Structure 1
Amino acid sequence: MPRKKRTWFPGAMYHITARGNRKDLIYHEREDYHYYLHLLEKAQKRYPFKLHSYCLMPNHIHLLIETEMHSPSTIIHYIHSLYARYFNNKYKCIGHLFQNRFNDKVIKDWKQMMDTSRYIHLNPVKAGLVIKPEKYPWSSYKVFISTSENSIVTSEKIVNTMCSGSKNTYKHYVEMNLKKDNLYS
């Protein structure tokens, strides 16, 4: 049975997720996270795209990307094939690192974009890895709430869309969900 063709057009925005095969870890050490981020930056230079939010969880990834002239398939294939080769060489593994193909969900409007970014940034809290999202080192959240900069993340579209350029408004938007769910005080 043929695979369903993915929807793609220049300027489309996607929530990309990919999980380790059998839900196994895809990062074991800090160096692994750094290498994946390096590959994101390398891919941006080769296949320009905007990375609006990201979170690298121990066994899966979340990316909110906006394409320009290349499909998400081209971008993610490039990153994941290089990362899988790195991982398999480093840890003396063979076979697939990622479970199935990556998932992509087209972002249809600004509300879905905002909700997806919040979901991505809250992922480590909901997984019990940290109490506050800014404490998780492998996410773009700090770029959204502080003067921290990250050369691969473009936070302006999200901060300016709903928050009128205010990082405090974005922080409130994300963290009010935590308070409502009593995840932290």
Structure 2
Amino acid sequence: MPRKARVVLPGYPHHVVQRGHNRQVVFAHEDDFTRYLNDLRELKEALGVKVYAYCLMTNHVHLLLAPQSSSGLGELMKALAARMTRYRNKLEHRSGTLWESRYKSSLVQSDSYLLACSRYIELNPVRARMVEHAGDYPWSSFNLRFTSKPEADWLDTDPAFEALGSNRDSRHQRYQTFIEQAVSPDELKIIRNALQRGQLTGTERFVTEVESIIGRRIESRSQGRPRSDDG
């Protein structure tokens, strides 16, 4: 059976997950995490891809990306995987693949689900019981949102985050409150199912909009908009 064509639209955010081959460990040491983030920072500029959120777990990565061209997303993920594979293979005197052959991605509706996906990504270590609070985990984008250090300026500000307030402090305060709210089981299910099935993370109206843009039907499922009071 042929693979379902990936839906990629320039300028739109995409939730991307790439896992280690057979769920093997990808990031074993601090240098592994640092190397991947340095590559991400370099390649996003070279390939014209905005990075709205990320979380590097032991055996997989979550990224929230907005490519500015139709090829940018695929080129970025291919380059990131290749660089990390070469690095680990050289370090461990081995050969072979490090990642699953195909990453998962889901086009995200900005006004309804972009913040929800950011929260989902940055709370991964909390759900995995690795840390108690999102800010305790050093390998996600959460802390970069709250620092003004020059080395943190590579994280892009998405439009949903920008709309949280009229200034930096108010946006940070509202996002902190948003992160601390309980995430509903429905929201978790929507985001996870969209990734697993390669579908869209959005409302039926969003699905219709994307179908009209790409000129083909996209298999979808009914779902509601995330509520602002419970995520």
Give the alignment's TM-score, normalised by structure 1.
0.88
Whole-angstrom distance in 2 between the partners of 1:88 and 1:135: 30
Whole-angstrom distance in 2 between the partners of 1:57 and 1:50: 20
Q: Which residue is 1:130 aligned to? A: 131
**Cα distance change of structure 1 residues 58 and 71 upon mapping to structure 2, 3 Å threshold:** same
**Cα distance change of structure 1 residues 147 and 46 upon mapping to structure 2, 3 Å threshold:** closer
Once the two structures are superposed, the pairs formed by residues 45-56 of structure 1 within 5 Å of their partners are 45-56=45-56
Structure 1 or 2, whichever has the larger Rg, is: 2
Q: Which residue is 1:153 aligned to? A: 155
CA displacement, residues 130-174 of structure 1 (integer Å, 9 cap, x when unaligned): 111101000110122444551331135342133454201001001
Identity of aligned residues (%): 27
RMSD: 1.7
**Cα distance change of structure 1 residues 173 and 5 upon mapping to structure 2, 3 Å threshold:** same
Letter in 1 for 2:14: Y
Secondary structure of 1:2's counterpart equals coil
Aligned-residue offset at 1:86: 0.9
Once the two structures are superposed, the pairs formed by residues 73-112 of structure 1 within 5 Å of their partners are 73-112=74-113
Q: Which residue is 2:145 aligned to? A: 144
Among 157, 160, 175, the alignment partner of 2:180 is 175
Aligned-residue offset at 1:129: 1.0
Aligned-residue offset at 1:71: 3.2
Whole-angstrom distance in 2 between the partners of 1:2 and 1:156: 34
Mind listing any 5+ residue stretches in structure 1 that lack a counterpart?
179-185
Whole-angstrom distance in 2 between the partners of 1:157 and 1:143: 16
Answering whether residue 17 of structure 2 is matched by residue 12 of structure 1, we say: no
Which moved further from structure 2: 115-124 or 164-173? Answer: 164-173
Select the structure with the greater relative contact order (CA < 8 A; seq sep ≥ 6).
1
The 8 Å contact of residues 20 and 99 in structure 2, kept in 1 or not, is answered as yes
Q: Which residue is 2:26 aligned to? A: 26
The 8 Å contact of residues 48 and 67 in structure 1, kept in 2 or not, is answered as yes
Mind listing any 5+ residue stretches in structure 2 that lack a counterpart?
184-231
Whole-angstrom distance in 1 between the partners of 2:181 and 2:99: 33
Among 158, 161, 164, the alignment partner of 1:162 is 164
CA displacement, residues 37-88 of structure 1 (integer Å, 9 cap, x when unaligned): 1110121122011100000011110000011023311110011111111111
